[in-house]
Structure 1
């Protein structure tokens, strides 16, 4: 009798695992360093005229002598709501390490690793080539429960290739794409703005990407939504530290808006997990390399991630020694949705710190 009872409890436990999460939103901030995420604005870069225009006004906005206050100023949603209700991983000063597995340290290999769980050595450029690897987005979109309920919005125009839009069937809205999906006044306005207000940094403004995605979220109610922002990386490459900080701060606000919407919508309330990550880090040891990344740039393999949702324990900032990797994100997304992600390769395992 005891054996039967234990077996029943185990089955019930397994059957109910991660069933609170019915929707997942993945957000990536291209090339945002862990240093700013955990310590806020860097004083050397902030006070260097080579990198920061209008030092005083930028310092007035983002500087505090206290590192915890600086990071809260930079990303207030992350360091309030996510810290209090979710988890933030990757503060290397506390022993919390997240690293990439791919050997390249730039965008296409990073996004391939995030979405497929497989750090493919053959993915070695940012060229617009269809990804032969199956992403977790494609995997889910082929499942009856998620068919037509998976979408992606990106600022960088390589994402239709990374996701392999044609083969996967996943709807991808990217730079230069005009949306004809939701048929709302918001969509029409955003299409007009995309055509008439060009970005001087990325293929389009991150705000266009966000509000196109938000309009889609409100009207189409997808179960899986991926939003890929780009301006943090582009401004860093240009050596514009002020703009880099503002881009990170603005995206934090976007994530807050996503969470607020989800917590007030019947389909998403207490049923949605948001995972936040980046594709690569940047140089740190040599301050002149903060604008760069790649296999020759030290520190660019060091990244970070965060999560908030009904199946993520409210453990806040991880402050003990451990090691996680970028290739574990895809399996984590699938497991949150009650699926086991497989794509024919050896991929990373789900992240226990994110799934309680």
Structure 2
């Protein structure tokens, strides 16, 4: 799985930023593990449909349209209806918008470390279950007044308690086999789904992760909620392009569901920012490398991000911008009105999301 140029520093000059920016009261972060920008901005790839699915004709009926805009809307209807109309999307390299990871490894643990600590630490170089020594932005927010005990993460991949160092940080991290506490029938039913559902990728399905996160939000009202999906990466590694597309489409639907819930819930409605991104890219120049990522896969440093909510201008699909994964951690804090200043160095937030 996962050199900042002088011009970027100039671009991200943020004099008086927090005084001008309308702060959100809440933040929901969603990651789609290993989800390529190529599909996000261009929809299904015909070459991959024909080479990596059992029934190409059937898959083309589901996903293929000659127009790229219509094709991407077929795969990601929520991103290309509500988010594009109300927020901003970055990473369409065909239109001069670039988002890159800066860690050299281009797989999951290093990617998530970069997302949440703002620090592409070269010592974070495996996917092993090792407690992360770096301070992450979620634990920083969890210590701020009014956010204590109000930060939670729901993840499919069971390495996240180590990535986020739940042992030290005090963040509530629910993953894989973790159940939900409470007597409500819906919480018990969610636990039953988790216990009884098949596990085609070895850990609980993304939909179980989502349902657990949704019911936790209803019951506990966190100020910051992180949902980490995983199936896109697992099906890609397996070379199952049809399942990869289905997982991506389902994850878009789950993002839509959580957004609509937020907008119908007092305290969250019109007060919550949604931020969506991924941990690493995948191969594309060499088509068979779509299954892969890592230091030796040229395209694997290419990612994307999307956001909408209070204070974010509805500019739609951004062009002619260079952003980096390491900017996400300080951006998350800035969206809530905080300056994330950990022991390790971090760059400035994404100014595009913070300008009035």
Q: TM-score, normalised by structure 2?
A: 0.93
1:28 is matched with which residue? 31
1:3 is matched with which residue? none
1:217 is matched with which residue? 217
Q: CA deviation at 1:18?
A: 2.9
Name the CA distance, whole Å, in 2 between partners of 1:82 and 1:313.
11
**Worse-superposed segment, 148-157 or 51-60:** 51-60
- Change in CA separation of 1:13 and 1:130 when aligned onto 2, cut-off 3 Å: closer
1:83 is matched with which residue? 84
1:5 is matched with which residue? none
> Is the contact between residue 17 and residue 354 of structure 2 (CA under 8 Å) also seen in structure 1?
no
Look up the SS of the partner of 2:307 in the other structure.
strand
1:4 is matched with which residue? none
| Superimposed CA distance per residue, residues 140-187 of structure 1 (whole angstroms, 9 cap, x where no aligned partner) | 11123210000000000000000100110100000121222x432222
- Are residue 173 (structure 1) and residue 171 (structure 2) matched? no
- Change in CA separation of 1:279 and 1:12 when aligned onto 2, cut-off 3 Å: closer
1:277 is matched with which residue? 277
Look up the SS of the partner of 1:69 in the other structure.
helix
Alignment of 1:85-234 (within 5 A): 85-180=86-181, 182-234=182-234
Name the CA distance, whole Å, in 2 between partners of 1:145 and 1:282.
39
- Are residue 39 (structure 1) and residue 42 (structure 2) matched? yes
Name the CA distance, whole Å, in 2 between partners of 1:16 and 1:220.
31
2:305 is matched with which residue? 305
Q: CA deviation at 1:15?
A: 4.2
Q: CA deviation at 1:17?
A: 2.9
Name the CA distance, whole Å, in 2 between partners of 1:66 and 1:16.
40
Name the CA distance, whole Å, in 2 between partners of 1:206 and 1:355.
31
2:3 is matched with which residue? none
Name the CA distance, whole Å, in 2 between partners of 1:15 and 1:353.
15
> Is the contact between residue 110 and residue 121 of structure 2 (CA under 8 Å) also seen in structure 1?
yes
Query: Which runs of at least 4 in structure 1 moved beyond 2 Å after TM superposition?
Result: 11-19
Runs of 5+ unmatched residues, structure 2? 1-14
> Is the contact between residue 202 and residue 230 of structure 1 (CA under 8 Å) also seen in structure 2?
no
Q: CA deviation at 1:13?
A: 8.4
> Is the contact between residue 156 and residue 202 of structure 1 (CA under 8 Å) also seen in structure 2?
no
Name the CA distance, whole Å, in 1 between partners of 2:104 and 2:239.
24
Name the CA distance, whole Å, in 2 between partners of 1:93 and 1:290.
18
> Is the contact between residue 155 and residue 202 of structure 1 (CA under 8 Å) also seen in structure 2?
no
Name the CA distance, whole Å, in 2 between partners of 1:36 and 1:14.
34
Q: CA deviation at 1:218?
A: 1.1
| Superimposed CA distance per residue, residues 67-125 of structure 1 (whole angstroms, 9 cap, x where no aligned partner) | 11110000000000000000000000111000001000000000000001000000000
Name the CA distance, whole Å, in 2 between partners of 1:236 and 1:183.
38
Q: CA RMSD in A?
A: 1.4
Q: CA deviation at 1:58?
A: 1.5
> Is the contact between residue 331 and residue 340 of structure 1 (CA under 8 Å) also seen in structure 2?
yes
- Are residue 66 (structure 1) and residue 67 (structure 2) matched? yes
Aligned length: 341
Name the CA distance, whole Å, in 2 between partners of 1:44 and 1:215.
39
> Is the contact between residue 18 and residue 335 of structure 1 (CA under 8 Å) also seen in structure 2?
no
Runs of 5+ unmatched residues, structure 1? 1-10
2:341 is matched with which residue? 342
| Superimposed CA distance per residue, residues 244-264 of structure 1 (whole angstroms, 9 cap, x where no aligned partner) | 000000010111111111111
Q: TM-score, normalised by structure 1?
A: 0.93
1:6 is matched with which residue? none
